[in-house]
Structure 1
């Protein structure tokens, strides 16, 4: 049990540090956006879709981190195969789809911005596609974790 508790504590610390990084991003994001608007006043109106996508991403990511933290708490308390852990996994899966949607929305706005300014947006778009790949992998992993929990809960339900 010590190894399990140590590894879950380590993962909780990593989740907490990721949450602090997201919070720092949310605090400095408006300052960065205003500075960019001053440097490029012609494309300043594209900051609104960017900020909407960025803050939506931060909110969805923070909710997923909180649910992952709760899931680790359930695992520590030997409640890994419970309705609560299944509910946390469902919320994490919904957050991954929200993040994918927001990244796609960001790609579309970046493509429009590239058409307006004549710049090449291949680099940021390729990084965004990698983000979609990573998020899709997380969604698939959560889906794989949900199946045994559902089966376990259904099996226990039929026994009663």
Structure 2
């Protein structure tokens, strides 16, 4: 694969990470403050929102890092290796972790939707869960296909 293609994908990964970092820095504290305004007697909601949203950012950035490593393996012409399979496995695990964290945070989305009278908040929460699961399944399929390709390649290397 041409280096320009992977360079574009690496830049895209970086550009995906920047808005999420900005959301973590600027929007999460506002969301937590708004939750405390909606439920003044429940100050612990601020901490729960911080935990849920920041905890979901950790596997997201780990998955971005693993994607970056996978593109580096492609650049080095070692795409069909156990390193690539391991990266895809880590991406799958990170996506599943994000999905689990969002599922655990759904009661917070429900509280927002109930008090703010906007059911779209629950839809956003469900979309986050669904997107994480799609990424996990896609990484699992790619991992299996890559492992099968490596097995076929090693069989062919042994017969020659």
Query: Does TM, normalized by the shorter one, top 0.5?
Result: yes
SS at match of 1:42: coil
Residue 142 of structure 2 aligns with which residue? 145
Work out whether 1:74 is the aligned partner of 2:91: no
Please say if 1:7 is aligned against 2:2: no
Q: Which residue of 2 aligns with 1:136?
A: 133
> 1 CA distance for matches of 2:89 and 2:25?
28
Q: Figure out how many residues of one structure are paired with residues of the other and give that number.
A: 156
Q: Are 2:105 and 1:90 equivalent residues in the alignment?
A: no
> Separation in 1 of the partners of 2:128 and 2:117?
19
Runs of 4+ in 1 over 4 A off after TM superposition: none
Give me the TM-score of the superposition, normalised by structure 1.
0.83
Contact 1:22–1:62 under 8 Å retained in 2: no
Give the distance between the partners of 2:92 and 2:36, measured in 1 at CA.
38
Listed one character per residue, the Cα deviations across residues 13-32 of structure 1 (whole Å, up to 9, x for unaligned) are 01112222222233335642
Per the normalisation by structure 2, the TM-score is 0.83
Partner of 1:106: 105
